[in-house]
Structure 1
Amino acid sequence: MNSPTTDLSFPHNWSAKILPHPPLILPTRQFIYPKKAEDIGRGALEVMIRPAASEPFLGTFALGFADLAAPSGLWSSPDPDWLCAVAGGYAYLVNTSRPEQFEQIEYRPVQQVRALPCHGLLVFAGHHALQAWGAARKVWETERLSSEGVEITRIEGNHLEGIGWDMIADRDVPFTIDLRTGARIKLRGQAAETE
């Protein structure tokens, strides 16, 4: 696992610390994500989480991939009670006030995570598409943008720009996404039209 990222761009009602190993004295509350203990056999991201209004707990997040290119770390989310933990490309959103309530992002692996507080979105890049989560959970998912690998290159105003590999053209192809809807935008000269 690579050096973890911490991005607390969104206001949040919790504090969290990534631990190098499980604590010697375990807290009263412990949660494994996902819920199957065998999923942590490949390794895990151990995080001590302290919600503002309840007891601390240890979150053990199953590692997706040991590849250094797969992201790991902690992100605050558009909902101040929810935390996003990524362990080797497996991304989890956890309600820190009710830790048994969580979502696992379906991309395996997630290749990039971008916090966009001005849009109220946490954006996840997978191999083929993008997904955005807001305070109301999953807000949108793009169409297929790539045959293998999506990279976010720039965010300006309500547009997200990136590149994706087109297997038929045998090259990277740029794309632009409307952050309000997740729709792909075709650029013609200076004008933008939403499909």
Structure 2
Amino acid sequence: MRFFRVLSILCVVLFISACSNNDWRTASRQPAGIATTPNEDNRAIIEFYAADAFSWRGWFAVHPWIAIKEENATEYRVYEVIGWQVRQGLPAIRQYQTLTPDRYWYGSKPELLLSIKGDKAAMLIPKIQKAIALYPWANEYSVFPGPNSNTFVAWIGLQVPELGLELPFSAIGSGYAD
């Protein structure tokens, strides 16, 4: 009986700490200082990032995204899959342009999974863009087992094996692309 009481208290404390994480509206989206700005490097750049998912989901899973900067481009183009977009009738794939592709994912600092620069990046960018255009679950999203943001990045890695992309164990849903 005492064991279950201690376990219950521990669960409540963990639940409260998870729920009191940041409000997504006020959580940090600041640059992490990992990426070079486009005016610092005119080469083509491909970077894959992942950060802990928001709130309690971050205990188990990451959210990944892809940043591409073509040679002499003034901004990166970022591609990611977002579940709320599908619930609003929009495509799962979100893309936007930015100077800072390494922004915190709602309070979680990103990790650089892969960086390719120069001629190899320039050669691979069209292949990545083709794979994005052919993504078979562009209008679907499911946290588990997928398709989700990890499925999207895994799909790109499978379509463009020259990347040599390796996702972390916590990329739940990456196996959905196999």
More helix by share: 2
**Relative contact order: is structure 1 or structure 2 higher (C-alpha 8 Å, sep ≥ 6)?**
2
Fold shared, TM-score > 0.5 on shorter chain: no
More strand by share: 1
In the superposition, the TM-score normalised over structure 1's length comes to 0.26
